[in-house]
Amino acid sequence: MGGSETPVAANLVDLLRQKAQADPDRVQYRFLADSGRESDSLTLSQLDARARTIAVQLQSRCSPGDRVLLLYPSGLDFVSAFFGCLYAGAVAVPAYPPRNQQHMDRIETIVHDAGAALILTTESTRDRIETWITDGQSSDLQVLATDVMSAEEADVMLGVWRAPNILGDDLAFLQYTSGSTAEPKGVMVTHDNIMHNERSIQQTLGMTESSIIVSWLPVFHDMGLIGCLLQVLFCGSLCVLMAPTAFLKRPMRWLQAAADYQAELIVAPNFAYDLCVDAVSEAQRVDLDLSCLRIVGNGAEPVLHDTLERFCSTFAECGLSASAITPMYGLAEATLMVSGATGGTTEVADIDMPGADPRRVVSCGHVATGVEVAIVDAVTQCRVGTGGIGEIWVRGRSVAAGYWGQTEATQEIFAARIRHEDSGPWLRTGDLGLLRDGDLYVTGRIKDLIVVRGANHYPQDIEQTVGASHDVLPLHSGAAFTITEQGTEKLVVVHEIRRRFVGEFDLDTVVRAARRAVSRTHGLELAALVLLRPGRLPKTSSGKVRRRQCREEYHAGTLRSVAQWSTAGTQWSTAETQWSTAETQWSTADTQCGSTTETPELVERAA
């Protein structure tokens, strides 16, 4: 299925202006309430008008290039504000409104790192944000609600908007990473980066005007923003949005919306598909028609073959085609997409791992149009031979300009050179992988690799083994790492338990099952097992496990565990077996995935 004609606009402002003039009444975005009913929509002309009115307010308060923090709850107000920043020549900084002091600490870090000139939000959240700002270190920062302007005021502002002079290498927004370190880094995404990556997505996935997307992904995250929100404007289709909480409370809402709106594309991290399998009942599947789906994108965290098989087999009766399954690979530093599988059978290969047993790895497809990938030895920085495993390096116009205010890190990560080659600069992703028959296989993160007695082990393999060892332990909800004791590397696993087992399980039985499984499968001795209640495992906003943070909290003794076992003895925390209704009312499902805590309110706690 071929893509539609590539837009000739040089940037998103020109693109929206052109489309609003050509087809003003076309609905570009719809938002669904938790009930599944449509609660809001935006036509192209409405979005253009709202963006201009917001831009006028920004132009009177800040200068082109100033950073503006966007703190919006789920809904379409974020869309207008994001384009309002672009229309003003400002640099958007998407984030999510803080829910507690821990979240506010992260926002404070972003505010100071970005040097934010202003905060945009809604009237409903302004008071809360102003209270936190007053109590924090940004008391002089103005907070502007963008949803309270009268029609008369808006009409006046439309006439005084000044179109910005946008160059391709001007910054469009800062995407703050949610990596494993405490300090987030702002990826500098230019207007040219966005247009190039949107074109790559369109051409790689064959997106057209009929390619409707239904998404619950947070719009402040790159996959929700670049892959859904902006892609539909680029290719001329429709995006139907819902709050992440709506999906997490009831995954059927996402699939039902895809069927109702005849979506061609849905995309989410791996955990979401496990959640759909576990939470959507057989009775719900009877009348569910997913034959409309051409692309079921899986990215932002490791793509697991077992998950793909479970999802395909479960929803085959709903008309889901196995050829729709589309593993993807990308990262914020490359704007978003680097590779994607399209059409046909998803490739799976048994990969020989250096110093480790072979692993079954899912292909993330061919490298995207306009993107180049090299596999490089991370130590020697020489290109690895055909089929060999090394660090994934990326180059092309989608690669961002660097990290905001971090010259050394930018030089190290974004300006790498392959030894003995006159090429570059390259982006070092920190991910390990290989190229085989044109497909990219991602095997893990360099910094997460576990080395015991000279043998390499991938933490996700150990985590999967432990998660499958006992019913108390859900899949994809653990972190494996090593600690050094008396010069010896010791294996530790931190793992969530299922909600229904809190306070009602036998620790010795769970420990024995986990130790036996790890020993048999990996030939390793488990030295410690720390059990957490659901939602406690540190993760990023895209669902990736923060293993480094887990290790640090383990060393510091700050993990809030239900129980823990080690060769030194057993400890129970009875306080942690008591549930807080307020913290758990977002979900009634007993899921198999710790990532289901990635609600909008909780996403930022791990971002």
176-185, 227-236, 302-311, 594-603: range with highest mean pLDDT: 227-236
pLDDT band per the 50, 70, 90 thresholds, residue 542: low
Burial code (b: 16+ CB inside 10 Å, e: under 16) for 241-253 equals bbbbbbbbbbbbb
pLDDT value of residue 343 = 66
pLDDT at 259: 98
Residues 437 and 527 in one domain: no
Q: Tokens 């790492």, residue?
A: 481
Q: Rounded distance, CA 551 to CA 409, Å?
A: 23
What would the mean pLDDT of 404-414 be, rounded to a whole number? 96
277 is written with which tokens? 């399998």
Q: Rounded CA gap, 70 and 239, in Å? A: 20
What does the buried/exposed string (b/e) look like for 190-221 if buried means 16 or more CB atoms within 10 Å of the residue's CB? bbbbbbbbbbbbbbbbbbbeebbbbbbbbbbb
Instruction: Determine the Cα–Cα distance for residues 126 and 122; give it in Å rounded to an integer.
Output: 6
If asked whether residues 536 and 555 sit together in one domain, one would say yes
- Which pLDDT score is estimated for 85? 98
Q: Is residue 441 part of a domain?
A: yes
For 189-203, 207-221, 400-414, 533-547, which range has the lowest pLDDT when averaged over its residues? 533-547
Spatial separation of the C-alpha atoms in residues 26 and 23, rounded to whole Å = 6
Least confident range from 46-60, 119-133, 237-251, 573-587: namely 573-587
CA proximity to 295, closest of 216, 183, 204, 198? 204
Confidence of residue 137 (pLDDT cuts 50, 70, 90): low
Please report, for residues 220, 353, 457, 458, the alpha-carbon distance to residue 358 in angstroms, rounded to integers and kept in the order given: 37, 5, 10, 11
Tokens of 380: 């020697």
Please give the tally of structural domains in the chain: 3
Per-residue confidence (pLDDT) for residue 506, from 0 to 100:
87
Q: What's the domain range around 420?
A: 349-446
Are 467 and 574 within one domain?
yes
Cα(first)–Cα(last) distance of the chain, in Å? 36
Does 185 fall in a domain? no
Of 148, 166, 184, the position where a domain reaches its end is 166
Whether 439 and 484 share a structural domain: no
For residue 323, the model assigns a pLDDT of 93
Q: What is the pLDDT of residue 102?
A: 64
CATH number of 525's domain? 3.30.300.30
Q: Is the separation of the CB atoms in 290 and 255 below 8 Å?
A: yes
> Who has greater pLDDT, 505 or 23?
23
Q: Residue 329 corresponds to which tokens in the numbers above?
A: 């690979």
Indicate if the pLDDT at residue 402 is higher than 70. yes
How much is the pLDDT for 256?
98
Average pLDDT over residues 289-307: 92
- Asked if the model's pLDDT at residue 10 lies above 90, the reply is yes
Verify that 66 and 104 share a domain, yes or no: yes
- Judge if 524 and 438 occupy the same domain: no
Q: Domain end: 446, 471, 496, which one?
A: 446
Q: Which two tokens stand for residue 256?
A: 């039902």
What is the overall mean pLDDT for the chain?
87
Burial 280-300 (b: 16+ CB within 10 A, else e): beeeebeebebebbbbbbbbb
Phi and psi at residue 323, to the nearest 5° = -70, -10
Q: Is the pLDDT of residue 602 over 60?
A: no
The answer on 458 and 424 residing in a single domain is: no
Pairing mode of beta strands 186-190, 171-176: antiparallel
Tell me, yes or no, whether 368 and 500 share the same domain: no
488 and 602 share a domain? Answer: yes
In a domain, 192, yes or no: no
pLDDT at 476: 83
Q: What is the pLDDT of residues 569-599, one digit of tens each?
A: 655 553 333 323 223 222 222 222 233 333 3
Average of per-residue pLDDT across 43-50: 96
What pLDDT, on a 0 to 100 scale, did the predictor assign at position 5?
52
| Together in a domain, 478 and 391 | no
Which whole number is the average pLDDT over 357-380? 91
Whether residues 465 and 423 fall in one domain: no
Half-sphere exposure of 559 (CA within 13 A, CB side): 32
Q: What angle do CA 515, 518, 519 make, to 5 degrees?
A: 80
Q: What is the pLDDT of residue 576?
A: 38
Residue 126 lies in a domain: yes
Residue with tokens 């192209």: 44
Q: What is the CATH number of the domain that holds 398?
A: 2.30.38.10
What 8-state DSSP symbol labels residue 386? T
Distance, CA of 392 to CA of 334 (rounded, Å): 12
Give the end of a domain, one of 428, 446, 464: 446
